[in-house]
C-alpha cells in the first residue's frame, strides 16, 4: 500500500490523539494505520523530528449543507442541484515512534494542525509488528493489512498469557496455532485438555501425520467410553495412569468427593489405608471398607465404612488408576508437547489430575530439577481456578501464576468466562489475546485485568469477527489487531456441521421406516452431506 497523502490534521491535536479531514475518495478505513512525519521531539539539549505511527479509530461523513433540520423535499432539491458537499472526518490514536534500538516510544510533543497525514507504508508496519532478531511466533496478519505479518515475541510469554473469547470465536484454534509455532522453537509444552480440543494435533489438515507429530504425545486415561475421537483418529495415544497407592488420604478424599465435614467417613478411610500393603488400587480399598462394614464391632464404624465404600466404588469405574505415574522427564523434555486428554472423566478426577500435574511440575521447578522452560496450557481455566477460590487445583495454579515465572513455568490461561476466573490469576497474565466477547460481565472482567486495553480497543471486542483478535501486553510492541492465519494441524474442538448432521439423521429416519426421502425446499435429504 502506498504512503500517499490521505488528509490533514485539523482542530486540536494532542500527544495521544488527533483529528483529521480526508477526501471522500481517499479516506482511510477504520483501524487503518497512518503516518505523521516530522513530529518535533526533544533529545538531549536539542530536538529531533520523528515519524509517528497512528491508527484510525473513528470515521464519519459530514455535510455542511444537508442538515438534519431540512425536510425531505428540501434535501431532494439540494441533491438535485449540488454535489461534492460531503466531508470525511476521522480520529486517530497515536501509537508512537520507533527509536534506534527498535523500542516504541510515545511522543511527548503533539503534531501540528495542518500537517499532512499519509497511509503508513507496509515497510514501516513490518518494523512495528514483525519481530527482528531472534525468533518470532507468527500468528497472522494485521486486520487491515494481512500481508503484514504479526509475530509474537517469545519473551512476552514470560509473565503468562491469557487467551479470552466467547464460545465459537476461535480461541482453541488460535491456541493450537500458537503451540504448533512454539514447539519447533524448542518449547516444552503440557496441555491440560478437558474437551479433547487438542488431541488432533498429530494430524495435518489432510489427515496425514503433521510436521510436529513426532514431537507430540497424547495421553489418555484408559477405558473412557463415548470419546469424540478414537485412538486411531488421533494418530495413537499413550495410557495416562496414576499410581493409586501413592495418594495421600487427603487426596483420596478430594478425588472421591468426600466433604471435609464428614469426619467419620474420612477417619474410616484413613484406618483402612493403614491396613493395606504393597501396590493397591481403589478396588482393594473398597474391599477393605466392605470388610469393616460387616465385621467391625462398632456400629458407627460399620455404617461409616459402608457409606465410604460407596464413594470409593465410583473411583473403580475409571481405569486411570494404575501401577505407575507418567514420568516427569517425559512431560518436561525440550521440543516436546504432552497433551493430557481429560474428556469423559468425573469432575473430581479431572481436578485431581490437573492438581497433580501442576504440583509435580512446581515441585520439580522449585527444587532445581526443571532444566528448560515449560509452557502449561490450562483450557477451561475458570473450572480449575474459579473466582471463589474453590477447587482442588486452585491453590497450586494461583501459586504458579504469582511465582512460576521465576522458576521457568509459564501459563497459557484459556477461558470463555473471564468473569468466572480468579481475578488474581487473570491479572498476573501480563499479555492477553482477546477475541470476540459480548457478555457485559466478562467484558468488565477483562477491562479490570488488562492494563494495556484502551477504551477504543475495548469497545471493538463485540464487533470482532471469528478469527480476529486484539493482542495487548509484552507479546507485541504495541496493542495489535490481528487476523489469525491458518493452522497446519487439525483442530479437535471445532463445532459440528449441525445442518449436515440433521440431514444424516433425517436420512436414517427414512431408511429405518423404509420410506423415500421427503422433499424440503425442493431438496431431498439424503447421504450427500
The DSSP code sequence of 119-187 is EPPHHHHHHHHS--SS--EEEEEESS-TTSEEEE-GGGGGG-EEEE--TTSSHHHHHHHHHHHHGGGT-
The DSSP code sequence of 73-127 is HHHHHHHHH----EEEEEEEEEEEEE-TTS-EE--SS---TT-EEEEPPHHHHHH
CA distances from 184 to 187, 396, 427 (A): 7, 29, 29
Distance, C-alpha 285 to centroid of its chain: 40
Which has the closest alpha carbon to 56: 36, 32, 89?
32
The pLDDT value recorded for residue 384 is 95
Separation CA 55–CA 278 (nearest Å): 67
Separation CA 370–CA 450 (nearest Å): 30
Residue partners of 514: CB distance under 8 A and separation at least 6 = none
Residue partners of 423: CB distance under 8 A and separation at least 6 = 387, 445, 448, 449
For residue 364, the surrounding DSSP H or E stretch is: helix 347-366
| β-bridge partners, 96 | 53
The tens place of each residue's pLDDT in the chain, 529 residues long, gives 445 789 999 999 999 999 999 987 788 999 999 999 878 777 777 788 889 999 999 999 887 788 888 888 888 888 877 665 678 999 999 999 998 888 899 998 889 899 999 999 999 999 999 876 668 899 999 999 999 999 999 999 999 999 999 988 899 999 999 999 999 999 999 999 999 999 999 999 999 999 999 999 999 999 888 888 999 999 999 999 999 999 999 999 999 989 888 999 999 999 999 999 888 999 999 999 999 999 999 999 999 999 999 999 988 888 899 888 888 999 999 999 999 999 999 888 999 999 999 999 999 999 999 999 999 999 999 999 999 888 788 999 999 999 999 999 999 999 999 999 999 999 999 999 999 999 999 999 998 888 778 888 888 899 999 999 999 999 999 999 999 999 999 988 666 667 877 888 888 888 887 766 665 444 544 443 3
CB 374 within 8 A of CB 407: no
The pLDDT value recorded for residue 526 is 45
For residue 206, the surrounding DSSP H or E stretch is: none
Which has the closest alpha carbon to 384: 194, 190, 251?
194
Q: What is the three-class DSSP state of 510? A: helix
Helix, strand, coil % over all residues of the chain, rounded to 5: 35, 25, 40
Identify the sign of the CA torsion 221, 226, 232, 235. negative
The pLDDT value recorded for residue 1 is 41
The DSSP code sequence of 249-305 is HHHHHHHHT--TT-HHHHHHHHHHHHT--SS--HHHHHHHHHHHHHH-S-HHHHHHH
Question: The pTM is what?
Answer: 0.87
The DSSP code sequence of 211-246 is TTGGGEEEEE-TT--S-SS-TTTTT--EEP-EEGGG
Maximum distance among all Cα pairs of the chain, rounded to whole angstroms: 106
Fold adopted by 157-201+326-484 = Rossmann fold (3.40.50)
CA distances from 253 to 96, 231, 274, 359 (A): 56, 31, 15, 17
Which has the closest alpha carbon to 189: 199, 177, 181, 179?
179
The pLDDT value recorded for residue 335 is 96
Separation CA 370–CA 407 (nearest Å): 8
Separation CA 497–CA 494 (nearest Å): 9
Separation CA 443–CA 341 (nearest Å): 29
The pLDDT value recorded for residue 300 is 92
Please state the domain extents for the chain. 5-120, 157-201+326-484, 244-315, 497-529
| β-bridge partners, 71 | none
Separation CA 369–CA 363 (nearest Å): 8
Give the cell for residue 350. 479431572
The cell 500481508 sits on which residue?
A: 147
Separation CA 339–CA 353 (nearest Å): 13
Give the cell for residue 182. 512454539
CB 200 within 8 A of CB 491: yes
Q: Categorise residue 344: left if φ over 0, alpha if ψ from -120 to 50, beta otherwise.
A: left
Q: What is the three-class DSSP state of 334? A: coil
CB 357 within 8 A of CB 240: no
CA distances from 255 to 267, 306, 363 (A): 16, 18, 21
CB 407 within 8 A of CB 358: no
For β-strands 519-520 and 523-524, DSSP reports them as antiparallel
HSE-CB for 52 with a 13 A CA cutoff: 30
Counting beta carbons within 10 angstroms of the beta carbon of residue 226, is it exposed (0 to 12), middle (13 to 18) or buried (19 or more)?
exposed
Amino acid at each position: 500500500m502506498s504512503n500517499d497523502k490521505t488528509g490533514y490534521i485539523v482542530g486540536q491535536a494532542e500527544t495521544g490523539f488527533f483529528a483529521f479531514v480526508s477526501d471522500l475518495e481517499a479516506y482511510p478505513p477504520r483501524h487503518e494505520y497512518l503516518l505523521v512525519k516530522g513530529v518535533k521531539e526533544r533529545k538531549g539539549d536539542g530536538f529531533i523530528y520523528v515519524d509517528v505511527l497512528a491508527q484510525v479509530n473513528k470515521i464519519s461523513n459530514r455535510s455542511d449543507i444537508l442538515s438534519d433540520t431540512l425536510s425531505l423535499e428540501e434535501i431532494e432539491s439540494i441533491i438535485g442541484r449540488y454535489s461534492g458537499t460531503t466531508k470525511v472526518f476521522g480520529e486517530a490514536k497515536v501509537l508512537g515512534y520507533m527509536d534506534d534500538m527498535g523500542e516504541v516510544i510515545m511522543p511527548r510533543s503533539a503534531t501540528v494542525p495542518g500537517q499532512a497525514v499519509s497511509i503508513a507504508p507496509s515497510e514501516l508496519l513490518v518494523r512495528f509488528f514483525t519481530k527482528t532478531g531472534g525468533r518470532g511466533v507468527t500468528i497472522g496478519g494485521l486486520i487491515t493489512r494481512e500481508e503484514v505479518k504479526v509475530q509474537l515475541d517469545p519473551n512476552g510469554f514470560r509473565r503468562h498469557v491469557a487467551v479470552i473469547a466467547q464460545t465459537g470465536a476461535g480461541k482453541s484454534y488460535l491456541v493450537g496455532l500458537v503451540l504448533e509455532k512454539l514447539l519447533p522453537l524448542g518449547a516444552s509444552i503440557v496441555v491440560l485438555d478437558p474437551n479433547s480440543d487438542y488431541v488432533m494435533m498429530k494430524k495435518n489438515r489432510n489427515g496425514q501425520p503433521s510436521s510436529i507429530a513426532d514431537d507430540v504425545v497424547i495421553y489418555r486415561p484408559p477405558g473412557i467410553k463415548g470419546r469424540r475421537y478414537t485412538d486411531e483418529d488421533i494418530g495413537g495415544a499413550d495410557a495416562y495412569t496414576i499410581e493409586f497407592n501413592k495418594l495421600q488420604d487427603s487426596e483420596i478424599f478430594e478425588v472421591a468427593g468426600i466433604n471435609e465435614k464428614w469426619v467419620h467417613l474420612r477417619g474410616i478411610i484413613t484406618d483402612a489405608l493403614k491396613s493395606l500393603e504393597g501396590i493397591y488400587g481403589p478396588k482393594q480399598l473398597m474391599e477393605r471398607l466392605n470388610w469393616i462394614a460387616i465385621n467391625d464391632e462398632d456400629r458407627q464404624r460399620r455404617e461409616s465404612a459402608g457409606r465410604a465404600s460407596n464413594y470409593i466404588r465410583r473411583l473403580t469405574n475409571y481405569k486411570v488408576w494404575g501401577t505407575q505415574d507418567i514420568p516427569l522427564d517425559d512431560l518436561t523434555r525440550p521440543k516436546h508437547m504432552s497433551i493430557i486428554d481429560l474428556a469423559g472423566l468425573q469432575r473430581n478426577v479431572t481436578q485431581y489430575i490437573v492438581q497433580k500435574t501442576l504440583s509435580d511440575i512446581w515441585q520439580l521447578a522449585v527444587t532445581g530439577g526443571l532444566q528448560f522452560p515449560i509452557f502449561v496450557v490450562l483450557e477451561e481455566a475458570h473450572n480449575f481456578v474459579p473466582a471463589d477460590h474453590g477447587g482442588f487445583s486452585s491453590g497450586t495454579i494461583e501459586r504458579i501464576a504469582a511465582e512460576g515465572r521465576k522458576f521457568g513455568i509459564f501459563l497459557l490461561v484459556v477461558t470463555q468466562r473471564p468473569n468466572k476466573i480468579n481475578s488474581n490469576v487473570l491479572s498476573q497474565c501480563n499479555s492477553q489475546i482477546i477475541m470476540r466477547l459480548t457478555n457485559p460481565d466478562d467484558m468488565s472482567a477483562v477491562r479490570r485485568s488488562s492494563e494495556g486495553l484502551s477504551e477504543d480497543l475495548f469497545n471493538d471486542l463485540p464487533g470482532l469477527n471469528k478469527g480476529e483478535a486484539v493482542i495487548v501486553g509484552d507479546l507485541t510492541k504495541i496493542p495489535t489487531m490481528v487476523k489469525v492465519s491458518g493452522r497446519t494441524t487439525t483442530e479437535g474442538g471445532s463445532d459440528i456441521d449441525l445442518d449436515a448432521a440433521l440431514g444424516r439423521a433425517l436420512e436414517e429416519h427414512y431408511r429405518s421406516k423404509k420410506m423415500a426421502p421427503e422433499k424440503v425446499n425442493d431438496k431431498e435429504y439424503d447421504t450427500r452431506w
